[in-house]
Each structure stands twice: as C-alpha cells, then as structure tokens.
Amino acid sequence: MASPETTKVEAGFGWLAIVRIGLVQAAIGALVMLATTVLNRLMVVEFALAAAIPAGLVAWHYAVQLGRPLWGHGSDKSAAKGGNSRTVWIIGGVAVLACASLLATQATLMLGTSPALGFTLAVVAYTLIGVGVGAGGTSALALLASGVAPQRRAAAAAVTWIMMVAGIVVSAITVGQLLKPFSPERLLTVAGGLALVMVTLTVLATFRLERQAGRFGHAASDEGEAPDFRAAIREIMSETAARRFTIFIFVSMIAFSMQDLILEPFAGLIFGLSPGESTQMGGQHQGGILLGMIVTGIGGSAFSGKRPDGLRIWVICGCLLSAVGLGALGLAAVNGPPWPLGINVFVLGFGNGVFAVAAIGAMMGLAGAGETTREGVRMGVWGASQAIAFGLGGLTGAVGVDLARHALGNDGAAFQLVFGLEAAAFVLAALLAVKATGAAAMRAGATQGEREVYA
C-alpha cells in the first residue's frame, strides 16, 4: 500500500490549485489586453497612425514568442533542482510583462510629440511583452501539465482558458471605466495600477503552489538533470507523436485565428450591421466559445478522462463543427439577409470552444512524453507553434479578403473563398488529429503515474 505521503504527491493539483493557475492566466490576459486593445485604439484614433503600425507591433510580440521553447527549457532546468523554481519563472514573466505594458503606454503617449523615439520604445516594449507572455505563460502551463491528473485535464484546460478570457473582459471593462474622462496622466495611472494589481495577484496565486504538484509529469528527483536545449529539441523532433502534434497545432490554430480580423467587417459589408450590432454579433461568437469550453471541460473529464485518447473525439468534433460553421458563413456571404447570422456565428464559436479546450488538454497529456525532456520545453515548442499560427492566421485572413475582393470584384465571393479555405484548414486539422491525439500517441506520452490512472 502506498504511504500517505506518496498518495498525497500522486493526487496532484486539486480544483483550487487549478483555479490559482487560472488566475495567473487571467493576469497575463489582462496585461496583454492593455497593449492590444487600449493602446491599439489610441494609436489609430487619437494619434491618427496607420492601422498597420499597431498591427505590426502586435504581430511582432507573437514573433518574439518563438523563444518559448528556450524559456520553457530554462524553466525545466530550474525545476530539476526542486523548490519553487517554476514559480520564479511565472512571477518573473508576469513582472516583465507588467513593466513592458507600462513602457508601451509611455511609448504610445510619446508618439504624438516624439514619433521616432516613441516608436523605438514601442518596439522594445512589445518585444518585452512577447518575452513576458512567453516565459510566464509557458511556465504556468508546464506547471499545470506536470501536476494535473489525466482525468482532470479537459476541465483544467477549460478553467484556465475561461479565466484568461474573463481576465481580458473584466480588465477591459474596468480600464474603460477608469479612463473616463481620458487624459494621458489618467492612462499612466490606470496602467500602473493594473500592472501592480496583476503582479500582486500572480504572487498570491502561486504562493506555495508548486509543492502541490503530483507525479503526472516528470519528477525532478527521479529524472535528474534536464538535457541541454539542443538535445531537448532534437529529442522532441525525433518523436513521431511530437512532430505530428506540432503540425496539428500549427494548422488548427491558423484555421482558428483566420476569422479574427474579418468577422465583423464581413457582418458590416454583407449584412449591413452597424458597429454596435457587429460587436453584439462578436459577443454571440464569444458566448458560443464559452459554452463549448464548459461542455468539453465537463464532458471530457466526466466521460473520457480515464482513456489515453479520450480527448481525441472532442478535438475532431470541434474541428469539424468549426468547419461546418465556416462553410455556412461561406453560404451566408453569397446569400446575405435573412440568413440567421447570429445562430451561425454561435455554432462556429461552440465548435471553436470544443476544439480549443480539447487541444490544450491533449497538449498537457503529451507534455510529459520525453525520456529526458520535461514539460517546459515541450509546451514551449507547441506554444511557439501556436503563437506564430495566431499571428499568421489573422494576417492571412485579412490579406486574403483584400486580395480576393480586388481579384473577384465581389465582396460576397471574396468572403466565401476565405471562409472556405478556413473550413478546409479545419478539416485538415481534424484529419491530423486522428493520429496526433490517438491512443498510441497519448500512451507514448504517458508517465508511469498516468499509466496507473489509465489502468
């Protein structure tokens, strides 16, 4: 019989611990919101800059996250020494992100008086934003992957993603209210307060958290030192399951993000919706995503959490439902009103939410697959693939619509073409998921503790 101490370690994170990691994700989402939403609007509206400038800065912060594998490896090296090493990386990443958001705020305000200096500081700030998101976010997900039992992964993914979205929404509403009436001084004060609150929240959320992690990932005492970075990358790329999953993440996240910048313009151009009405439609899409996440979090854990490939059906169904929703939008593009646009985007959002949570849960399942590599570098590789796909997907969708409108001379046909390509990408992602998240791949990634749970 296992000793009480062993049983406690193998139990892994409870729901409170999962929520605490979700608070870290919420803090990261809130700080990123300031740079990608508030400052974006200031650059375009108040300072009359080309929209390409803030879009380029946001794309750059995604590009910087190619360093996620390196930061994840650093987190692994620290975790091998025991203690609260991943916690240091999490707090450090959020602290860098907070300071970078303040620098980005100051740089934005300087664009009106000193454009060259302001833009230079903005590039530095958005570089550090990418570093902070990559280092803190990767380490948080690695800690979650190492400490969550297999049957809780879908629910854990749902909780952390929902809390990240909640952090974005709550902070956006709060910051918006605090900025009334707007002034540069008030903006700096609000940004400083947001940074301080989010760093404090992260410190409190991670206090003594790491010691609760179970044996569902690599245990430093059993595995010894982590390999050097190049050896870790070679090991990951030599594994068929890891390569397949990296490709799956890249393709699926491109499909997931292609509609981000074109959905509301589509509603305005084809259906004649006002800005307020298109925003409301965007809320229906987000509502569908939220419901899809909740359903998958509950269903994936309750009905298939103990199977090594239990999340595969959720991933595939989410991709295919997303493809159906996009295919329907393609028909809406050439038919226009009275197409039930609200229901259509809600179904699309539901499929997106199912896919997203199931994919993250499967990612956590494969994170401990290496013989010597640990969760950090693996989550870093997939996080980098996801970040690049997000940036590339949004850009591809927007540029694709512009080119198609010019070439075809018809807005409806242009949107139909892009939505069709996005749907095809989701179908391809579903096909890739068959093997990338199948039983053989997930068993290969199972640690000894997981095999006992699956048994």
Query: What pLDDT digit, counting tens, does each position of 310-353 carry?
Result: 688 999 999 999 999 999 999 999 999 999 999 999 999 999 99
pLDDT for residue 210: 82
pLDDT at residue 454 in the model: 41
Average pLDDT over residues 32-50: 80
Q: What tokens were used for 219?
A: 């245990």
Q: Which residues lie closer than 8 Å to 254 by C-beta, 6 or more apart? A: 389, 392, 393, 396, 425
pLDDT at 213 over 60: yes
The mean of the pLDDT values for the chain is 83
Q: What does the longest C-alpha to C-alpha distance in the chain come to? A: 73
Highest-scoring range by mean pLDDT, 165-169, 185-189, 281-285, 298-302:
185-189
Q: What is the DSSP letter of 363?
A: H
Tell me the C-alpha distance between 50 and 305, whole Å: 48
Q: Is the pLDDT of residue 20 over 90?
A: yes
Q: Looking at residue 83, what is its pLDDT? A: 57
Model confidence, pTM: 0.76
Quote the CA–CA distance of 243 and 116 in Å, as a whole number: 42
Task: Say which range, 189-198, 305-314, 331-340, has the weakest mean pLDDT.
Answer: 305-314
Report the distance separating Cα 87 and Cα 83, nearest Å. Answer: 9
* pLDDT above 80: residue 449: no
The DSSP symbol for 217 reads S
Give the residue among 83, 398, 59, 320 at the shortest CA–CA distance from 211: 83
Binned at pLDDT 50, 70 and 90, residue 164 comes out as confident
Task: Give the Cα separation of 109 and 117 in Å (integer).
Answer: 11
What is the percentage of the chain residues whose pLDDT exceeds 90?
Answer: 38
In whole angstroms, what is the distance from residue 452 CA to residue 140 CA? 25
Q: How many CB atoms lie within 10 A of CB 181?
A: 5
The 8-class DSSP code of residue 238 comes to: H
